[in-house]
Structure 1
Amino acid sequence: MSRVIKAQLVKYSRLAHERGLTAAFGGNLSIRKGNLVFIKATGAVMDDMTREQVAVIDMSGRQLSGVRPSSEYRLHLAVYRNRPDVKAIAHLHPPYSIAASTLVSGELPIITPEAEIYLKRIPVVPFRPAGTQELADIVAEAVLQSDAIIMERHGIVTVGRTLREAFYKAELVEESARLWYLTERE
C-alpha cells in the first residue's frame, strides 16, 4: 500500500511543477491513510521527486521514516484533525493565486461555473509565517468552511478525498485567480 501512496505523491508532485503550480522547493502534498500521513520530505524538489523523498509521520507528528517531513507538516496534521473526511492535501505556490492574495481580502471572487460547483468559495486567510502552528491553525479553521484556501503571500491549500481531487481543485483555484487577475487588470 505505501508503494502506491508514494507513487501517487511523486506523480502529482511532478505534475504540479510541470503545470506551473509550484517552483523550486515550494509546495507539498500529503495523503492520510489511517493514523499515517505520507508527505513530501523537507528539501525535496517536486520536479524530480522520488519515492525515497516521501516522509511518513503519524497523526501526532512523530517521524516514522528515514527522511524528515516538510516544514508544513503541522498544517497538514491540523487540517486532517479538523476534517476527518479529508484524505489528501495539496499545498502549492501558484503565481496568480499568490498575486491575487496581495490584492484581495476576504474571498477570491468565483468566476467560472466549474469553480462554483467544485470550490463554492475561496477564502483568503491573512499572512502567517510558513511552517508555524499559527499558519496551521488559521488554515485548519478555514477548511471547516471551504475545500480551497488562499494564504496571503504564500500559496494555496486544497483538500479532497483523494490526491487527484485535491490536485484538480488546486488547478481550479489557480485558474480562478488567473481569470480574476486578468479581468481586474484590463
Structure 2
Amino acid sequence: MRTAKAQLVKYSRKAHERGLTAAFGGNLSIRVGDLVFIKATGSVMDEMTPEQVAVVALDGRQISGVKPSSEYRLHLAVYRERPDVKAIAHLHPPYSIVASALLTGELPILTPEAEIYLGKIPIAPFRPAGTEELAEVVAEKIREADAVLMERHGIVTVGRSLREAFYKAELVEESAKLWYLSRK
C-alpha cells in the first residue's frame, strides 16, 4: 500500500516535470489485487503527496476517505477489460491532444521504438471527461493496444508497472510530436 502510493507520487511529479500534463489534469493508477490506487480529485500532480491517493475497489466502491479522480471510471473499465494491466497513465500531453484533434483512426508510428513498444495508437472518439461513455470507448480501444489517444482530451497508456505505463506515455507524446513536425 505504501509502495503504491509512493510510486504514484513519484510518477505524478515526473509527468508534470516533463510537460505531460498541467494544472489539475491527468491521473495515474496502480492495481493491487482488487484495489486501485489513484490520484484524488482536485490534486495537482506536481504537488502530490501520499495523502492525496484515493483507493477504490474494482467494483467502484470507494475504500479510502479521499475521493478518487473523476476519471476513476476510465481506469476501472481498462482494468476490467485488461486483467494483465497493473498500472495506467492518463495524461494530457500537448502534441498528443493536437494530433487527436487533427487525425482519425490512428496516430502514425514513425520510429522503430514506438513500433516495438506500442505497435499502434488508436484514437478514441470524443466523449465528455469523467463519463461512463468515455470509459467505454477507451476500454474498447485498449483491448488491442497499450496506448490510446482520446480525441481533444489526452492519452491513456497501460503497463505491467507504473514505470512501464509512464514511459509508454512519453513515447506516445514523442510520436505525436514527430508526426506533427513531419507535417510541415
TM-score, reference length from structure 2: 0.99
Instruction: Give the deviation of 1:165 after TM superposition.
Output: 0.2
2:53, 2:20 → 1: CA distance? 19
1:148, 1:25 → 2: CA distance? 21
Q: Which residue of 1 aligns with 2:31?
A: 32
Q: Which residue of 1 aligns with 2:72?
A: 73
CA RMSD of aligned residues (A): 0.4
Instruction: Give the deviation of 1:127 after TM superposition.
Output: 0.3
TM-score, reference length from structure 1: 0.98
Structural mapping, 1:47-126, within 5 Å: 47-126=46-125
Matched residue SS, 1:69:
coil
1:165, 1:9 → 2: CA distance? 13
1:160 aligns with 2:159: yes
Q: Percent identity?
A: 78
1:126, 1:59 → 2: CA distance? 25
Matched residue SS, 1:116:
helix
The runs of 4+ residues in structure 1 deviating greater than 4 Å are none
Matched residue SS, 1:108:
coil
Instruction: Give the deviation of 1:66 after TM superposition.
Output: 1.3
Structural mapping, 1:125-164, within 5 Å: 125-164=124-163
5+ residue gaps, structure 1, are none
2:28, 2:89 → 1: CA distance? 5
Matched residue SS, 2:156:
strand
Instruction: Give the deviation of 1:79 after TM superposition.
Output: 0.3
Counterpart AA for 2:151: E
